[in-house]
Amino acid sequence: MGRSDRVANSEKPGGKKLLEGISFTYSTLSRWGLSHYDWKADTTALEIGCKNGANVRLMLELAPEGHITGVDATEEYLEKSIRLNQKEAGSRCEILKASEEALPFGADTYDLVIAFDAIYYWKNLSRVFKEVQRVLKPGGMFIVNCEVSDPNVLWTKMEKEIRVYSAEELRRFFVQYGFCEVKMERKKNAWVCVTGKKPLQMPQL
């Protein structure tokens, strides 16, 4: 079964509420982002900012023999994510409280790291990208997926806790922080998905 079969797209518009968490009624963006990875049955994946756990649950289906980890810094989201994925908890799934700047995992652990509508909140991009590189296996993929990619959207300027990056800025971050095979794709005008791979041999940043 190919990734296009395993990650079907649907058509449902998103909105500002996305910044509060991905829900089952908001699945299009997640499925589109996850379709950029060539899923294997035993894929190991980490989601930074797992919110209510919907993406973790979807990835458990995409990798039926793999292991999926979700981290978030918000207790409310952690409780929801654990509850949603309790069937696989302790065996194929782990939900932890952690900062994106200090991921509590060993080097070369994951095939895939994803961040869906999370980069808006990151205060230290350099530290986060270095942490992602550290926990990725050589050749592993990092996916950043965003519903909003226009820094000039009015409501984003009113939200002091977030920063919206343009698609080109996101692409440059991947290159700047040492990822290779960087690709950028847009959808629905504002949506953007940027992917990059950890080099087989990492240069010193």
23 half-sphere exposure, CB direction, 13 A CA radius: 10
Provide the residue count of the chain. Answer: 205
Q: Which amino acid is at 19?
A: L
Q: What is the mean pLDDT of residues 119-127?
A: 93
Write down the pTM of the prediction.
0.84
13-65: pLDDT as tens digits:
332 333 343 343 347 888 999 999 999 999 999 999 999 999 999 999 999 99
165-189: pLDDT as tens digits:
899 999 999 999 999 999 999 987 7
83: confidence class by pLDDT, cuts 50, 70, 90: very high
Domain ranges of the chain: 3-197
Domain 3-197, what fold? Rossmann fold (3.40.50)
